[in-house]
């Protein structure tokens, strides 16, 4: 029986820095969703324009995450995990600071739209690198017995950034100040990262004659490609809940006839309160069950209950809707576990590419989800039925992907991927 002698590595500098980095990342990632309505109204857009322009900006931000995930993932495997942790935070911090200056731009709707879109796209590129590089670094520096606890600790602390973002918007007199605060926190975090050392496993891989950061390797081998797709599939339910049920909470509030409506910012905040607690719980559950797959499947089942409850149309108060947001937030709090699986499934030479692109591919599917959701409503389906169809597809893919992928609990990460090595022994364990 394995015996863990010390939990001290969980409080090492790489874990603390990764957690704080993810905190700032989540703060900035969800800030537009929280200030979407007040910022666009403050810039002079009408109610109908707020929905149209807001959706466009969200989709471009998510597109930036897709592109950034590939760029930062490749850089992390070629130049090191720390290069991503430094570079990404500089980019999205500067973009957020510039968003804070939008009220001082000329009051021209067309130019403001393109400028806002461009800044959120750039922010999206920067935001794409933080989680994957942090989880990869933590996974490689911690003992394998502590990986689940370490990565969940990173996410548990980091995801509370959404709560702070919402409270910041509420407590500051103008929405743009929240952007300044987010950018300032990012710049400040750079100083803390100076003392963090590179992963020893990565440094050893540098000495080997093997291709590093080759994104194309995911598509040159069927087993590797199938693993990659299933890793993405595991995360789909998380962003259905946040990207549809929380971010479009105002739409659901109107459909459900909730007096006073639903604030998307509050829905996101309560969702992430649940996610933050759920991520810590999922790590403990995985550690106890000695299984990534079982813990995620239990969390998905718990989430599904709240989603069905919302879509049943029986919720008629704002408080109850926020309770459901907290519920599905807790259930989808396997985000760190899902990214950890992505890191553990692949060799050191493409591990950062995998762990960085996989969560951003999932975030990018929000584009498809929102397009599908809006198209179904335009076709005559109700809000609840439209969300139900998108949700069914998301959960079906998520459950199958989790059930069919190989178990990675306790796996030794000191291995590499080559075109000739198919890793068939990793597929059906």
For the chain (429 residues), the mean pLDDT of every run of 10, in chain order, is: 62 84 86 87 86 86 87 85 82 93 87 92 90 81 83 83 87 92 89 68 67 83 92 95 91 92 88 89 88 94 96 94 96 88 87 86 87 92 96 96 89 74 44
Helix-, strand-, coil-residue percentages of the chain, each rounded to 5:
80, 0, 20
Query: For residue 4, what are the CA distances in angstroms to 143, 230, 287?
Result: 9, 31, 11
Residue pointed to by tokens 């000695």: 290
Note the pLDDT of residue 139.
Answer: 81
Please enumerate in sequence order all residues whose Cβ is within 8 A of that of 91, keeping only pairs 6 or more positions apart, or say none.
Answer: 122, 123, 125, 126
CA 223 to mean position of chain CA atoms: 25
Q: What are the residue ranges spanned by the domains of the chain? A: 10-194+214-426
Please enumerate in sequence order all residues whose Cβ is within 8 A of that of 215, keeping only pairs 6 or more positions apart, or say none.
Answer: 70, 73, 74, 350, 353, 357
Note the pLDDT of residue 198.
Answer: 64
Please enumerate in sequence order all residues whose Cβ is within 8 A of that of 238, keeping only pairs 6 or more positions apart, or say none.
Answer: 275, 332, 334, 335, 338, 362
Q: What span, in angstroms and rounded, lies between the C-alpha atoms of 182 and 169?
A: 11
Q: What span, in angstroms and rounded, lies between the C-alpha atoms of 194 and 216?
A: 32
Count of CB atoms situated within 10 Å of the CB of 341: 31
Is residue 26 a contact partner of residue 158, using CB atoms and an 8 Å limit?
yes
CATH class of 10-194+214-426: mainly alpha
CA 159 to mean position of chain CA atoms: 9
Note the pLDDT of residue 36.
Answer: 85
Residue pointed to by tokens 């807001």: 54
pLDDT tens by residue, 325-370? 999 999 998 988 888 898 889 988 888 888 888 988 888 888 899 8
Give the DSSP letter string of 204-235.
HHHTSS---S-GGGGGSSHHHHHHHHHHHHHT
**Residue 145 gets which letter from DSSP?**
G
Note the pLDDT of residue 419.
Answer: 64
Q: What span, in angstroms and rounded, lies between the C-alpha atoms of 308 and 296?
A: 18
Is residue 241 a contact partner of residue 308, using CB atoms and an 8 Å limit?
no
pLDDT tens by residue, 35-66? 888 899 888 888 888 878 888 898 899 889 88
Cβ burial of 194 (10 Å; 0-12, 13-18, 19+) is exposed
Note the pLDDT of residue 11.
Answer: 81
Q: What span, in angstroms and rounded, lies between the C-alpha atoms of 72 and 86?
A: 11
Write out the two tokens for 374. 């809006």
Helix (H, G, I), strand (E, B) or coil at 346: coil
Note the pLDDT of residue 429.
Answer: 39
**Residue 196 gets which letter from DSSP?**
P
Is residue 413 a contact partner of residue 139, using CB atoms and an 8 Å limit?
yes
Which among 377, 337, 290 is positioned nearest to 131, based on CA atoms? 337
Stated length of the chain: 429
Please enumerate in sequence order all residues whose Cβ is within 8 A of that of 292, keeping only pairs 6 or more positions apart, or say none.
Answer: 148, 286, 337, 340, 341, 344, 407, 408, 409
Is residue 52 a contact partner of residue 60, using CB atoms and an 8 Å limit?
no
Write out the two tokens for 89. 């935070």
Note the pLDDT of residue 205.
Answer: 67
CA angle 340, 123, 14 (to 5 degrees): 40
Helix intervals (H) in 218-347: 222-234, 236-240, 249-255, 264-289, 292-311, 318-331, 335-344
């Amino acid at each position: 029986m394995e015996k863990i002698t010390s939990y001290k590595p969980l409080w090492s500098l790489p874990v603390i820095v990764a957690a704080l980095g993810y905190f700032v990342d989540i703060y900035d990632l969800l800030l537009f969703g929280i200030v979407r309505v007040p910022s666009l109204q403050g810039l002079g857009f009408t109610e109908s324009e707020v929905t149209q322009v807001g959706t466009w900006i969200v989709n471009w931000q998510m597109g930036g995450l897709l592109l950034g995930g590939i760029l930062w993932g490749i850089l992390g495997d070629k130049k090191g995990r720390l290069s991503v942790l430094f570079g990404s935070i500089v980019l999205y911090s500067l973009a957020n600071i510039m968003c804070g200056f939008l009220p001082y731009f000329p009051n021209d709707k067309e130019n403001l739209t393109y400028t806002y879109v461009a800044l959120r796209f750039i922010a999206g590129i920067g935001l794409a690198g933080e989680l994957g590089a942090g989880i990869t670094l933590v996974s490689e520096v911690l003992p394998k017995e502590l990986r689940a606890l370490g990565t969940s600790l990173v996410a548990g602390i980091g995801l509370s950034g959404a709560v702070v973002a919402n409270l910041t918007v509420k407590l500051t007199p103008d929405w743009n100040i929240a952007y300044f605060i987010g950018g300032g926190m990012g710049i400040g975090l750079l100083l803390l990262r100076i003392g963090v050392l590179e992963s020893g496993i990565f440094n050893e891989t540098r000495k080997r004659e093997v291709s590093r950061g080759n994104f194309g390797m995911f598509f040159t081998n069927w087993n590797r490609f199938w693993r990659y797709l299933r890793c993405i599939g595991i995360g789909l339910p998380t962003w259905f809940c946040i990207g549809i049920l929380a971010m479009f909470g105002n739409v659901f509030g109107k459909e459900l006839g909730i007096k006073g409506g639903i604030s998307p910012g509050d829905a996101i905040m309560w969702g992430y309160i649940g996610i933050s607690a759920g991520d810590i719980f999922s790590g403990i559950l995985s550690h106890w069950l000695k299984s990534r797959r079982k813990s995620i499947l239990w969390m998905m089942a718990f989430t599904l209950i709240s989603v069905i409850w919302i879509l049943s149309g029986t919720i008629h108060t704002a408080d109850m809707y926020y309770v459901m947001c907290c519920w599905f937030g807790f259930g989808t709090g396997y985000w760190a576990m899902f990214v950890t699986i992505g890191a553990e499934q692949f060799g050191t030479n493409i591990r950062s590419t995998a762990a960085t692109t996989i969560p951003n591919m999932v975030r990018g599917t929000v584009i498809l989800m929102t397009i599908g959701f809006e198209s179904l409503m335009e076709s005559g389906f109700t809000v609840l039925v439209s969300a139900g169809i998108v949700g069914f597809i998301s959960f079906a893919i998520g459950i199958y992907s989790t059930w069919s992928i190989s178990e990675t609990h306790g796996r030794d990460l000191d291995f590499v991927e080559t075109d000739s090595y198919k890793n068939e022994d990793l597929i059906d364990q």
